[in-house]
Amino acid sequence: MKTQNQEHEVAISKRKLIGESPIVLNELTDRCLFSGFFGILDSLRIKKVSDGILEIANRSEHDLIVIDLSNIDIIDSAIAGQLVRLNKTLQLVGMDVIFCGIKPIVAQSMTSAGVNLDNIYVAKNLKRALLEVYRREGRKLINL
pLDDT digit string (tens) for 97-120?
Answer: 999 999 998 888 888 878 888 889
For the chain, domain boundaries: 22-136
- Residue range 57-64: mean pLDDT, rounded: 92
Whole-angstrom distance, CA of residue 75 vs CA of residue 102: 10
- What CATH number is given for 22-136 in this structure? 3.30.750.24
Q: Give the strands of the sheet with 121-123, arranged side by side.
A: 25-27, 32-38, 64-71, 96-100, 121-123
Separation between Cα atoms, residue 88 and residue 90, nearest integer Å: 5
> Which of 9-23, 33-47, 58-72, 81-95 shows the lowest per-residue confidence on average (mean pLDDT)?
9-23
